[in-house]
Chains A and B, each alone.
Chain A
Amino acid sequence: GAVVSQHPSRVICKSGTSVKIECRSLDFQATTMFWYRQFPKQSLMLMATSNEGSKATYEQGVEKDKFLINHASLTLSTLTVTSAHPEDSSFYICSARYASSYNEQFFGPGTRLTVL
């Protein structure tokens, strides 16, 4: 149980285009979803926290107009990287938790974004 999927697993795009990444909780209702960014051989950096039906809370230094987050349902959150640039290339990972899961988060498999 508590499976989270992400789509796509890999995406290559041209500079200036927008890319949407989906995060789905497959067998539970996710009250909160989190988006992280991870550079090679580094730790996860929290980008934003989103609760279903409300606006995402972004971490300091994360541009909300560049990284659009929508959490329209209890099983789906999307991250859209707008006007992508090569420096946006990274590994993006989402996680989700349900109301009674204490602090444990369930992670998706990640999306490798490469911007040419």
Chain B
Amino acid sequence: QVQLVESGGGVVQPGRSLSLSCAASGFTFSRQGMHWVRQAPGKGLEWVAVIWYDGSKKYYVDSVKGRFTISRDNSKNTLSLQMNGLTAEDTAVYYCARDSSYGAARIDHWGQGTLVTVSS
């Protein structure tokens, strides 16, 4: 069965960096687009970024452009999110999610999420 396990969350000071990882298993990772979606405490879901199955295309929500970088290692079945210049508005649970297509069409599986708290 599809498993997505995020790691790397924690407490970080404003302006600092943090890197999230997602270990994927139970499917052919190199054939699927992958997303990061976040949810601030008590708020709704916000799509953050997507990377195509082969890493050839990457798209971001405007609020993280230039600060966040999504990447993948198909040899290790791993998805990553490098987050720089963090602010309090980035505090959220970050979900790794699989797209059922090679790019971005629909998320069909989600990880359990990892909490990122930006605070001094």
- Indicate, yes or no, whether A interacts with B: no
